[in-house]
Amino acid sequence: MKIRDGWLLEAEHLVSPNSDHRPPDELPSLLVVHNISLPPGQFGGDQVRDFFTNNLDVQAHPYFQEIADMQVSAHLLIDRLGHITQFVSFLERAWHAGASCFAGRERCNDFSIGIELEGTDTLPYTDRQYQVLAQVTIALMREYPDISVDRIVGHCDIAPGRKTDPGSAFDWHGFRRLLPEP
């Protein structure tokens, strides 16, 4: 996989308005793995894409009323089949982490890349998602060398007590085996 000017060439590009500039001279140095499904526990459809681009039909499901005013995004979404959608350039700040802290540094959105996997905390992710996530991660580590294996975390790790994703269903050991040795 190749990255040019902050965009993954193999991804579908669908720009989210829910982003802004990183602090000056800040390059990504942390990778945060998330999960999302809309409605919760349901897969397929365009609801996540619509949510990240502020186009979600809030009348389509009762849960959507609860998130109607949220403005969030991630850099990437990897669906159950391994399709990649990029919403925000890696050089920009996506709004994925919220109140967060890593290694004593707060505001993880400033220095991280957020990748959403279509899934839930408790349902297994697909083999294809792991394969694609590993390929993307390797490309990101090559492009942004401050992202190392020990700087790949779950949302739960940077916002403990507030977030639980990617959850107990995420196979960290199996995922890390797909990455090159440090």
The active-site residue out of 66, 116, 118, 143 is: 116
Measured CA to CA, the distance from residue 72 to residue 124 in angstroms comes to 24
Strand partners, 81: none
Active site residue 116: yes
* C-alpha neighbours within 13 Å on the C-beta side of residue 64: 16
Asked if omega into 166 is within 30° of 0 (cis), the reply is yes
Strand partners, 78: 84, 117
CA separation, residue 96 to residues 20, 21, 62, 89, 174 (Å):
12, 14, 23, 13, 24
Active-site residue numbers?
116
